[in-house]
Structure 1
Amino acid sequence: MKRNVLIIGAGGVAHVAAHKCAQNNKLLGDIHIASRTLAKCQAIIDSIHEKGSLQSPGRLQAHQLDAMDIEATKFLIRATHSQIVINVGSPFLNMSVLAACIETGAAYLDTAIHEDPAKVCEAPPWYGNYEWKRRQACKDARVTAVLGAGFDPGVVNAYARFALDTYFDDVESIDIIDINAGNHGRYFATNFDPEINFREFTSTVWSWEQNQWRANSMFERRQDWNMPVTGMSTTYLTGHDELHSMSQNLGVPNIRFWMSFSEHYINVFTVLNSLGLLSEKPVRTAKGVEIVPLEVVKAVLPDPASLAPAYTGKTCIGDLIRGTRGGQAQQVLIYNSCDHEECFEEVGSQAISYTAGVPAVAAAMLIAKGSWDIGEMANVEELDPVPFIESMNRMGLVTRIQDAHGDRILRPRQESIYEPKPRMLVNY
């Protein structure tokens, strides 16, 4: 059994993760929060006290850390006796934090794939470029490293694994659909780190189709979906982390990711991109100052965490899986819907941060209990999805299923006796 958690990062997802760790500190033990800005870490701790999130009296401590410094990260892990590290800082930190965990024996969790600041949208599969190269090192050190344990990637991977295990003999396609029907009231803002957000959309869109990688441009392929709670929404094919592990691990020929965008977002993005303001490459100003345009755009846009107080509306994120069972066509939607205002009331965050932060802590709890403490590296779809879904159901991130039986809360252990009935499904 592992105890004591070090959370690296102090943004919106770290805020949620810290609150959820506090709500479960009888199991998880001491909670430490570290980032380059000590004041941000302390603000999260103050919020935990204000909301009364601590399950029982326990240690909460803020630390200043440059997590790119492996030696400093190793020192902090040892000094705090942390046996679980939740890395929800910038994706640029992943490999440094992972190295520190391998060398100290702490379990490692993250919610997004590693990125090189100088490169955008590398050749797929992305995990093969960095994280998977450390698989053997994790195994040799018997270090558990769970990759992409947010919502997407993370929960959607578990949904796919559960669907394949339970509802299908063969699966033809998985469409991951991410709808944010909320309104933050700002002229323009991104729901998570603007720099990371824009890097996803400025280059090649990779999808997995007919068992091979297919390249498209951003906003080239559009699809409208009628989703529960959020209704009819327009989405665009987008490249995303989970495709790069699910394509290798699930044996499904078609896996795509669709994200909703408003016309306003697309217009602003197009102007910024056309002007070169979303470039990650340094430029020199007339005064001889070297700057990175994307970093400037990030600096002038609202901090995603600041959106929470005024955010209204709901999200709907899930997997639409199509295949066969018993020779008959089968279609299943497994999804979650989150309310921005309810998330703010509970932990002071918006729903995008909530949906990423809760799963990371659910995964940490499974490592603490031992069921996910596997002593090697794994993506979420390689692990047992049942306790993961059950934990999130208890923690406020409830999973639902829509199929021939209707729309209901997904209770995984009851679904194991699933028997399809001939009934018309919702038409997507």
Structure 2
Amino acid sequence: MKKNVLIIGAGGVAQVVAHKCAQHNDILGDLHIASRTRAKCDAIIASVHEKGAMKVPGTFQAHAVNAMDTAAVADLIRQTGVQIVINVGSAFVNKYVLDACIETGVAYIDTAIHEEPDRICEAPPWYGNYEWKKRDLCAEKGVTAILGAGFDPGVVNAYVRFAADEYLDSVTSVDIVDINAGSHGKYFATNFDPEINFREFTGTVYSWQGGKWQENKMFEVGREWDLPVVGKQKAYLSGHDEVHSLSANYPDADIRFWMGFGDHYINVFTVLKNLGLLSEQPVKTAEGQEVIPLKVVKAVLPDPASLAPGYTGKTCIGDFVKGTKDGKEAEVFVYNVADHKEAYEEVGSQGISYTAGVPPVAAALLIAQGTWDVKKMANVEELPARPFLELLGRIGLPSRVVTPEGEDKPI
């Protein structure tokens, strides 16, 4: 049994994680949250108390830390006595926080793949560039490290495992479809860190098809999907983290990720990209000041956390998993629908942050209770799916499955 949690990060997803940890502090124990700016952590803790989220009286403390300083993170882990770290900071800090967890022997959970600030879209599989290089060390030291335990990656990985375990004899293709049918009312904004958001869409789109990596350009391949609640929506083949682990664990299946975009987003994105404003490489202004265009764009766009109060509508994220059952072709659709307004009313964040923030808390609870305390590094599809999905349903993210027979039922 492990307890006492340190949350790294203080953005919209961290706010959800904080509230959900507080709602289960009877199991998770003492809570701590740290980021470069302590005031942001203090504000999140204040929101937890305003909502009365703490299930039982207990500790919830804020700290300042540079998460790219492994030694500083390790010192904070020792100082607080935590046994589980939930890393929802920038993707740029992942490898440093992971190293601190390995050094101190505590469990590690993240929600996205590590990225280097000056590199976009490295060679696939992306996990092989950083995280998987520490697999042997985690196993040697008995350190539980759960990679990509958000929604996508994370829950969508579990959907594949769930379909394979309970409905199919073999998996031949996986199409992950992410649709946000909500509206934030702004001229233009991104639902999570603009820098990370744009980096996802300026590089090569990698999918795993025919047993090899296929390369496309963003917005090159699109199709319409008809989904529960949100209806018919256009989505585009996109590069995404989960493709890079699922392709290793289901090498005989085609693995594709599709994300929904409106025409307005595509138009603005295209102009920004064509002007060079989405570049991660520094440029000099006429005054001799060095700036990174992508960071300037991030600075002028709305903070994703600020979108929450006025956000309306729903999201639908799910997996179409095809394969065979008893020698015949079969398809399973596993999905979740989330509501932006309901998320804001519960935890003060919009639905995108909510779907990303609830799953790592479920992972922490499963580690605390021993179910996922595997003492090695694992991607979510390598772990038992049903306990994870059932727990998610109990704490705020219920999933449903459309069986090969066409029955739509809760998990």
Counterpart Cα distance in 2 of 1:42 and 1:21: 15
Displacement, 1:252? Answer: 3.6
Q: Secondary structure at the match of 1:242?
A: helix
1:138-177 superposed matches below 5 A? 138-177=138-177
Residue 400 of structure 2 is aligned to residue 400 of structure 1? yes
Give the match for residue 92 of structure 1: 92
Unaligned residue ranges in structure 1 (runs of 5+): 411-428
Give the match for residue 49 of structure 2: 49
Residue 267 of structure 2 is aligned to residue 267 of structure 1? yes
Q: Secondary structure at the match of 2:241?
A: coil
Displacement, 1:320? Answer: 0.4
CA contact (8 A) 2:84 2:106 kept: yes
Q: What code does the residue aligned with 2:207 have?
A: S
Q: Secondary structure at the match of 2:202?
A: coil
Q: Secondary structure at the match of 1:152?
A: coil
Counterpart Cα distance in 1 of 2:127 and 2:214: 17
Tell me the alpha carbon deviations over residues 282-321 of structure 1, each in whole angstroms, 9 at most, x when there is no partner: 0011111110000000000001010000000000001001
Counterpart Cα distance in 2 of 1:389 and 1:346: 20
Give the match for residue 425 of structure 1: none
Counterpart Cα distance in 2 of 1:259 and 1:319: 12
Counterpart Cα distance in 1 of 2:251 and 2:134: 23
Counterpart Cα distance in 2 of 1:253 and 1:215: 17
Q: Secondary structure at the match of 1:200?
A: helix
1:274-353 superposed matches below 5 A? 274-353=274-353
Displacement, 1:253? Answer: 2.2
Counterpart Cα distance in 1 of 2:243 and 2:203: 16
Displacement, 1:38? Answer: 0.8
Q: Secondary structure at the match of 1:335?
A: strand
Give the match for residue 215 of structure 1: 215
CA contact (8 A) 1:87 1:108 kept: yes
Counterpart Cα distance in 2 of 1:137 and 1:123: 23
CA contact (8 A) 2:138 2:377 kept: yes
Give the match for residue 2 of structure 1: 2
Query: Cα–Cα, structure 1 residues 13 and 252, in superposed 2: closer, same or farther, change >3 Å?
Result: farther
Displacement, 1:250? Answer: 2.1
Counterpart Cα distance in 1 of 2:175 and 2:348: 31
Number of residues paired by the alignment?
Answer: 410
Displacement, 1:7? Answer: 0.1
Give the match for residue 224 of structure 1: 224
Q: Secondary structure at the match of 2:362?
A: helix
Tell me the alpha carbon deviations over residues 109-140 of structure 1, each in whole angstroms, 9 at most, x when there is no partner: 00000001111001100000000001111111
CA contact (8 A) 2:9 2:35 kept: yes
The CA RMSD measured in Å over matched residues stands at 0.7
Counterpart Cα distance in 1 of 2:231 and 2:47: 34
Give the match for residue 62 of structure 1: 62
Tell me the alpha carbon deviations over residues 216-240 of structure 1, each in whole angstroms, 9 at most, x when there is no partner: 0000000100000100000000000
Q: Secondary structure at the match of 2:124?
A: coil
Counterpart Cα distance in 2 of 1:184 and 1:63: 31
Q: What code does the residue aligned with 1:126 have?
A: W
TM-score, structure 1 length as denominator?
0.95
Displacement, 1:9? Answer: 0.1
Counterpart Cα distance in 1 of 2:394 and 2:351: 17
Give the match for residue 122 of structure 2: 122
Displacement, 1:275? Answer: 0.2
Give the match for residue 107 of structure 2: 107
Which runs of at least 4 in structure 1 moved beyond 3 Å after TM superposition? none
Q: Secondary structure at the match of 1:277?
A: coil
TM-score, structure 2 length as denominator?
0.99
Tell me the alpha carbon deviations over residues 329-378 of structure 1, each in whole angstroms, 9 at most, x when there is no partner: 21110000000000001111101000010000000000001111111100
Counterpart Cα distance in 2 of 1:52 and 1:17: 15
Give the match for residue 237 of structure 1: 237
Give the match for residue 14 of structure 1: 14
Q: Secondary structure at the match of 1:357?
A: helix
CA contact (8 A) 1:161 1:250 kept: no
Unaligned residue ranges in structure 2 (runs of 5+): none
Tell me the alpha carbon deviations over residues 50-84 of structure 1, each in whole angstroms, 9 at most, x when there is no partner: 11111100101110110111111011001000100
Tell me the alpha carbon deviations over residues 120-164 of structure 1, each in whole angstroms, 9 at most, x when there is no partner: 001100000000001111111111000000000000000001111
Q: Secondary structure at the match of 1:40?
A: helix
Give the match for residue 251 of structure 2: 251
Counterpart Cα distance in 1 of 2:3 and 2:78: 13
Query: Cα–Cα, structure 1 residues 54 and 252, in superposed 2: closer, same or farther, change >3 Å?
Result: farther
CA contact (8 A) 1:9 1:87 kept: yes
CA contact (8 A) 2:86 2:360 kept: yes
Counterpart Cα distance in 2 of 1:170 and 1:91: 33
Give the match for residue 82 of structure 2: 82
Displacement, 1:251? Answer: 3.3
